[in-house]
Structure 1
Amino acid sequence: MNAADSTRRFDVVLGSRSPARLSVLTRAGVHPRVLVPEVDEDAILNDLTGVRPTDVVARLAMAKSDAVVATLIAERTESESAAARDRSMPDTVVLTCDSMLLFRGSLTGKPHTPDVAIDQWKRVRGQSAQLLTGHHLAVLGGLDVVASASETASTTIDFADPDDAEIESYVATGEPLEVAGGFTLDGLGGWFVDAIDGDPSSVIGIGLPTVRRLLRRVGIGVAELW
């Protein structure tokens, strides 16, 4: 692939149900199709016991990518003949991510329940932790993955020291239950983050600098997605 070829066309697919990730991309000029990957994250995590935390989130992002690519290939196989597909279909860039919070050597994902979220916040308040976001990029040409790349972004989060009542009020909003680490940077959770050291967009859900580097590795300029 020639990055200087301005005639190339790329579709972009975001493999995530996260509205925050979609918002990051659209504000940055990319308007992807959203396909939610169907993966058993708990089963994958069980198979990754003992794996380095940075690799865990990267492997989860890769599993999501594999699921999205399988869906796209099935769609293409059913909808078009090979000849028509080769003539009309642009290459597709598939972006997937997974985030988890690394605190004192342990990874935590989405709390899911209020009790877990409250307990997690009481552990990290007034402390620092690393938000790890695994990114995977795959380029689908026809029915084949023609390029792929992965990278994990790490950002240090300095949490504020909210009291018990503030934690319980925050958890009662429901916001932290389905987000990695039980907090947001761009929502109500921002009240309880004193500082970050790293890429803000990766904390929100998808790191623009990381995606740009991954695109470069597979020979695509980020402006080709705008």
Structure 2
Amino acid sequence: MSPVLYLASASPRRRELLAQLELPFELVLPQVEERRAPHEAAADYVRRLARDKALAGRAMAPRPLPVLAGDTIVVVDGEVLEKPVDRADGLAMLSRLSGRSHLVMTAMALAHRGGCELTLVTTEVTFRALSASDKARYWASGEPADKAGGYGIQGLGGRFVSRIDGSYSAVVGLPLVETEALLQRAGILPR
């Protein structure tokens, strides 16, 4: 079956979630610098990254199909926690998240001939208290090294989550309900 859109993402989690919408897609992998501008609000930052990835993907796509892209950030006390740069940074992130709530923001952008449409989903996630051993063992697993906020809810990090208020799939990296609606508005999926 011929693809109806491109996914601009190297994330296996986004690919798995998009596959649940049962539409054929191919990948494009644009390179977009992920650097927050001074004083840029977290929501603006994640929306900009998603839009930039979708537009860059559209520019490099071999066929004139729509391009879907996303980005996910973790926010605690107004600070954006990116992917950890090393072990010390990863353990510090886990310490900040321990025993409290934080926000996970996932933006999805769809670039097509009519422009670029965006959706943003914010989910509140609460962690149980983490011991030093919890954090050290989790870091040693290798899982948190490439994850925003230093954890993955869909993997071993899920055992730290005591509560979630919002979209689980958005925390994983692609909000299914909102992405389906975005694709329906663009006429890619039937309503």
Fold in common (TM above 0.5): yes
User: Of 26, 41, 64, which aligns to 2:34?
Assistant: 41
Q: Secondary structure at the match of 2:18?
A: helix
Which has the bigger relative contact order, CA under 8 A and spacing at least 6?
A: 1
Describe how 1:127-166 pairs up with structure 2 within 5 A: 127-139=100-112, 145-166=113-134
Distance in 1 (CA, whole Å) between partners of 2:53 and 2:21 is 23
Larger relative helix fraction:
1
CA drift of 1:112 comes to 3.3
Query: In the superposition, relative to structure 1, how do residues 222 and 102 fare at CA in structure 2: closer, same or farther (>3 Å)?
Result: same
CA distance, structure 1, for counterparts of residue 23 and residue 153 of structure 2:
21
Q: TM-score, normalised by structure 1?
A: 0.78
Secondary structure of 1:169's counterpart equals: helix
Match of 1:64 among 47, 53, 67: 53
Determine the structure 1 residue equivalent to 2:139: 171
Residue 8 of structure 2 corresponds to 15
Does residue 1:209 correspond to 2:143, yes or no? no
Q: Which runs of 5+ in 2 are unaligned?
A: none
Aligned partners of 2:111, 2:55: CA distance in 1, in Å?
9
Unaligned ranges ≥5, structure 1: 1-8, 77-90, 140-144
Q: Distance in 1 between matches of 2:124 and 2:91?
A: 21
Q: Which amino acid aligns with 2:51?
A: M
* 1:4-30 CA distance string (max 9 Å, x none): xxxxx8622111110011111113323
Q: Identity of paired residues, percent?
A: 29
Cα RMSD (Å) of the superposition? 1.8
Superposed CA deviations along residues 83-108 of structure 1, whole A, max 9, x for unmatched, are xxxxxxxx622110111111001111
Aligned equivalent of 1:122: 95
Report how many residues are paired: 190
CA distance in 1, matches of 2:76, 2:148: 12
- State how far apart, in whole Å, the 2-side matches of 1:175 and 1:133 are: 19
Change (3 A) 1:30 1:194: farther
Q: Which amino acid aligns with 1:116?
A: D
Greater gyration radius: 1
